[in-house]
Structure 1
Amino acid sequence: MQLAFVLVEPKVPENVGAAARALCTMGFGQLWLVNSDLHTRPEAHWLAHGSDHILDNARIFPDIEAVRNSAELLIGTSAKPRHGRSDWHTPGELAGVLANKGNAVATTALLFGREDRGLSNEELACCDLLTGIPMAVSYPSLNLAQSVMLYAWELSSARTASTDRSEVPGSDPARLGALRERLEHLLPATDTPADGKLYQWIFEKLPLLSNRDIGFVHTLCSNIARKIDKSS
């Protein structure tokens, strides 16, 4: 699994450079930026300290929708749970979720919001999972680069686990994304309305499935599709 750290409209070039250094220190190399060119600023390179190659190879996206098109799993950072969702995870819990994905996910994007206001509610609603760092104060806040360093340290174990697992011959490395598309087409055919609670629950739980469970649900979808074809 490739894990990309995504900075959404960062405000301070030094934070971008420090984030690149944190990624390099923990063995990551994918830095993506949304609507920003701060990685080109001298101040960013001043704090990169040997991580200039990460800044030089950073991918730039116009918006989060473009990031969504380049990643099977989109994870948003938030200081606290939003939208009444139950899929908010600490960094340590998130490491376990990603380690279980095996080769079912080719690319995961972890989004970090703006220094002054984080990610908007609309942006968080686009994410498959939410994550946050528990704080001991009533108004939680961490420097952007500090947050990136903490997640890079916690998720390095998930990266190692994914790298150590052997590929299954003939497996599709984007099976989670393919499963999401299948369900989007299949559920309406089973009279499951897209605005219903069951539909919402299915897509909230989908990103939590392990590599093995994703394969089982693929098989279930195939069986349901055959039943539908026979009855039509």
Structure 2
Amino acid sequence: MFNRLTAYLDSIRARDPAPRSRWEILLYPGVWALGFHRVAHWLFEAELFFLARLVNHLGRFLTAIDIHPGAKIGRNFFIDHGFSVIGETAQIGHDVTIYQCVTLGGTNPTNGVGGKRHPTIENNVIIGSGAQVIGPITVGERARIGANAVVTDDVPEGATMVGFKARSTLVPIETYMREFMPYGTPCNEPCEPDMSRIETLEAQLTEMRAELESLRASAVMDEPATRSGTDN
């Protein structure tokens, strides 16, 4: 158990440059919220629903993170800061990182049956601050959800979702495997969705300038000939 805890703390330290020691990470609200959830989930599976909810509310009061006891969470899950909400039927894989103010929310079933209402987050996903991932969708492995994105459709493996409503910008494997992407939000040019359009417009502008200069040069060359004909 001690080795598992140490490995968990080290996995957080690899994603967060702020802590100076493992002891400091033990003070993180995300670590405490996950600890409360492990207990609450065990009680939930034992059908001790009231006690599960009691532990859940205690954890939410102390950490400002609300994880429903029914949610299933894998290894090395890290919530950086707090104020996040994770719904009952959410499923989270291994080595997932969530930043502050994220919601893994559910849809309202029209047939009166609960069922799967919340997202499935696969391994190594990063969800940026303020993002809303809504409904029984699947976020593929190594996907990145940018800050404040609203995601309501399945996310392909390795995709980066940005905007409202979120749109996908696929990231080359050599990019997303290179290093950890803080907040799940890309800042380099290959991930900017409008760069190709801007480059096209700049090329067209250059062509138009060249044509204009050519027309001006032709007008200057024709002007002396026109004056000579008038003088005669």
- Same fold by TM-score, threshold 0.5 exceeded? no
| TM-score normalised to structure 1 length | 0.28
Name the structure with the higher helix share.
Answer: 1
| TM-score normalised to structure 2 length | 0.28
Structure having greater relative contact order (Cα 8 Å, sep ≥ 6): 1
Larger radius of gyration: 2
